[in-house]
């Protein structure tokens, strides 16, 4: 009877430790899921902002081109004069493409930063869960060995 009474607290302790480990892992997985959801939301915000700026840039270019063409038509410039208007239009297009390239580079940089932070956070959370599991199991074995000795 004495052997059975010493095994009951050990079994209860093992069950409790297992439950604590399981609960901690569930919390860590929930935190990882939240991190992933935040990462996706941040990436979507960057994409939406970039799309909005692209639309605004395209509209501004369209308006500038229309204004140049209207001025050219209203002034009745001869064929020789249309060359300079074409150069201005080409300059506007080049500037818009340059702005778009800078915007793309900035969006890529922001996406990379978000992904790096999310990866680091996820690894950190998983490492914490592993460390907690090892610590709880070590403590349990230490208690068990203390009871057995």
pLDDT digits (tens, 9 = 90+) for 111-135: 999 999 999 988 888 888 888 888 8
- With beta carbons less than 8 A apart as the criterion, state whether 39 and 118 touch: yes
pLDDT digits (tens, 9 = 90+) for 48-85: 999 999 999 999 989 988 888 887 766 655 444 556 77
Helices (H), the chain: 2-75, 79-148
The pTM of the full predicted model, rounded to 2 decimals, is 0.61
At residue 69, the 3 state secondary structure works out as: helix
How is the chain split into domains, by residue range?
2-148
Task: Pick 3 or 45 by higher pLDDT.
Answer: 45
């Amino acid at each position: 009877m004495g052997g059975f009474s010493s095994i009951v607290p050990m079994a209860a302790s093992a069950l409790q430790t297992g439950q604590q480990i399981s609960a901690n892992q569930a919390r860590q997985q929930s935190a990882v899921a939240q991190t992933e959801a935040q990462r996706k939301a941040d990436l979507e915000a960057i994409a939406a902002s970039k799309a909005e700026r692209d639309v605004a840039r395209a509209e501004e270019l369209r308006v500038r081109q229309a204004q140049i063409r209207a001025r050219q038509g209203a002034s009745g410039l001869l064929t020789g004069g249309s060359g300079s208007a074409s150069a201005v239009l080409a300059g506007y297009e080049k500037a818009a493409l340059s702005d778009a390239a800078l915007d793309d580079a900035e969006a890529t940089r922001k996406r990379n930063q978000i992904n790096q932070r999310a990866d680091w956070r996820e690894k950190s959370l998983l490492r914490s869960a592993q460390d907690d599991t090892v610590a709880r199991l070590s403590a349990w074995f230490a208690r068990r060995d203390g009871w057995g000795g």
